Structure 1
Amino acid sequence: MDSETRSAAEVLGRLKAERAERERLTNPTRLAIIARLIERHGLTENQATLAVDQVAEGIQGEHTAFVGPAVLSLFAEQWAQLWQAVQPVLQQFVQAFTAAMKQATQYAEIITPPAAADRPAWQSPHGPKQKGNRRG
C-alpha cells in the first residue's frame, strides 16, 4: 500500500472516529441520563459522564450503580408521554374499527345466500343434484 492510499485510509478512519465520538457526546438520551444523575444524585458533570461511559463500556465504577435506575426512570417517563400521545389515536381507531365491523356484519347478513334447503335447485351454483349413477 503506497503512502497516499495509507494516509487517505488513515484520514478516513480518523474522520469516522471523530464523527462517532461527536455523535456519542451529543446523544440526547445519554445527555438526559447524565442530567438525571446530576439532579438526583448530586454528581458533578464529570462524575455523571464517567459513570455513563463506564456503563457503556461494561466497566464497574464508583457511580455506575446509579445509571441503571436512571435509565429505567427515564424510559418510564418517556413511555408514559408516548402512551398519552397515542391513547386518543388508539381510541379513535378502536371506535372506527368497531363501526366498520358492525357495518360489515350487516352487509354479511344481506349478502349471505340462503341455506340449501331454503332455495330451489336452479339457484344452486352447481345446478340441480344429479340423479342416478352417471358412470357408464
Structure 2
Amino acid sequence: MAVLNLGLAGFIGAALTDGHDLVPLLWGSAEPSSYVTEDAFERITGMMVEDLKKHGPFDGVFLDLHGAMAVAHHQDGEGETLARVRSVVGHDIPVVNTLDLHANITEKMVAMSSAMTIYRTYPHVDM
C-alpha cells in the first residue's frame, strides 16, 4: 500500500516507519457526482462508528477525506462524519484528516478535527 500514489499510502508508510501499530477500518472511494444519498451516508458512517467501537480504544484516528462531499440530508457531510467519529473516540484523542485543495472547510470540521492537512497542488504532487 505504501508504494501507491495516494495520501493514505503516505500516511501508512510514515506511521509504520515510526513504529505505530495501525488498525485499518474502512476505506471507500467514489467518482464525483451528485449528492450522496441518505442511505449511503448512513450506511458508511454507521460502519465507521461500529468499527471504531469494536476495535478501540485508539491513540489517534486518521481520516482520508475530500472536503467537498454533498449529502442529501446534511449540509456538511465531512463535518457530520467527523462529529460521529468524535462521539465514539472523545475529544482527548487526536483526529487528523486530509482534504482536497478545493475542500469546503466548515466550522464543524475545524471543531471536530485536531489537525487537517490540505493538498495545495493539482495534480496532487504534494502527497
Task: State whether TM-score is above 0.5.
Answer: no
Normalized per residue, the structure richer in strand is 2
Largest Rg, 1 or 2: 1
Normalized per residue, the structure richer in helix is 1
When normalised by structure 2's length, the TM-score is: 0.26
